[in-house]
Each structure stands twice: as C-alpha cells, then as structure tokens.
Amino acid sequence: MLITGSPALAQEIELVGLTPVYSQDEDPVAVVQGFNPGIGWKDLAEAAFVVSAGALWIATNTDMSIPQARGIARATAPSWQL
C-alpha cells in the first residue's frame, strides 16, 4: 500500500499486516491517503500515478478543513475531491 499521509498512518497499515511503500516502483496495489501537514506535490503526484495505473484509492480523512493558528485551512478532502 502506497502511503500518502503521516507516519502514524503507515504504522496503522503495518499493524494490520500490510506493508507500507512510498513509490510506484514498489508495485503497490492500493493508495491509502490520510492527513499529513507536510505532504507535498511529489507525494500527491506519486499517488496519482499509482491510482492511474489501476490501484485502489482509499481516503481515510474526509475533513474539508482543519483549524490552524492562522485560521481555517483546507484539509485532506479537497485533495481527493479534485
């Protein structure tokens, strides 16, 4: 499973006996996307390549916004609703 999210998400995947991967080169059969404030364009592009190749896409966090010190910011859901 390609992880597009936090290290905690990768740990949860491991706890159920699955192997987290981070590249299409590792032949993932699914993408698991969760919240990670440090996620970048390259991470999202990698997930898009894997999904476009036929992998299952699982979004774990459907929040539309997240409170931040400077105000309300977009969260995970807007990225998977595109």
Indicate which CATH number applies to the domain containing 27: 3.40.50.1000
pTM of the predicted model, to two decimals? Answer: 0.78
- 4 within 8 A of 39, measured Cβ to Cβ: yes
Dihedral (CA of 63, 79, 50, 41) sign? negative
- Which pLDDT score is estimated for 60? 85
Query: Domain span at residue 72?
Result: 2-80
Report d(CA 5, CA 79) in Å as an integer.
Answer: 12
Give the E-state strand segments of 1-82 in sequence order. Answer: 2-4, 30-33, 56-59, 65-68, 71-74
CA dihedral 1, 10, 37, 23 (to 10 degrees): -40
Confidence class for position 10, pLDDT limits 50, 70, 90: very high
Number of domains in the chain: 1
Mean pLDDT of 12-16: 96
